[in-house]
Structure 1
């Protein structure tokens, strides 16, 4: 009887933790080109030194595996997009992360960035890049 009680308790603990994990921005996300609707890459979002970053860990279009950031400036100029950090320096602000930048490696442009997990669909990440009051939001989908 004690074993059954222990197993039930363990199952309840796991079930209680799963919704929290589902709301977490960390992990791997599949990016979708909002202009073409095609899957582009897998970006891993992680925390380092108290800030949040996102790195391209897989390119899904096999014709773009060797793609370089030829329009980028600075240290990312002509570097491979694969393994490139494209989200930098976000900090937690309530239910979202903001205060950093996101790079569009195809255009070589950096934008201020906000990310948050969709309340209605925790497998969807809202990724917003903006300049002043102009913004564009993409939806990325949990890949792991």
Structure 2
């Protein structure tokens, strides 16, 4: 009986995992917070919008140095994750660099309810960049 109860509780918590919520992006080298992204679901796809930029990046927050397409526009509220779809235990879609407006293939893997592994690349995953995001309660 205890084994059955454990299985029900354990399987429910695994299936309840979702990438939706607010996430703190962390610089892999300095371990400092870079930004806060809110991931939400719309029309069976996931999107992530930029809510906050840390002091580390604040010199770019008004986008003076961005591409001509988005120059002098606020980055807050901009979608940086688009058309993300769940495929098995991964989420696949596009990540947009808010400063250059370049688009990258993105794969998100949930490491736990509070940790995401983000891999973004242009050609091959091997030559991409991986970041860890931490959930904000």
TM-score between the two structures when normalised by the length of structure 2:
0.76
How far apart in 2 are the matches of 1:63 and 1:131? 23
How far apart in 2 are the matches of 1:111 and 1:130? 5
* Superposed CA offset, 1:75-94 (max 9, x none): x3432121111111111111
User: Highest CA radius of gyration, 1 or 2?
Assistant: 1
Matches within 5 A, 1:73-84: 74=69, 76-84=70-78
Higher helix share: 1
Tell me the residue number matched to 2:121: 130
Once superposed, which parts of structure 1, at least 4 consecutive aligned residues long, lie more than 6 Å away?
13-16
**Alignment partner of 1:43 is 2:34:** no
TM-score between the two structures when normalised by the length of structure 1:
0.73
Unaligned runs of 5+ in 1: 1-12
Alignment size in residue pairs: 127
Q: CA RMSD in A?
A: 2.7
Tell me the residue number matched to 1:72: 67
How far apart in 1 are the matches of 2:121 and 2:60? 28
SS at 1:83 equivalent: coil
Are residues 132 and 15 of structure 1, via their aligned partners in 2, closer, same or farther at CA, if it must alter by over 3 Å? closer
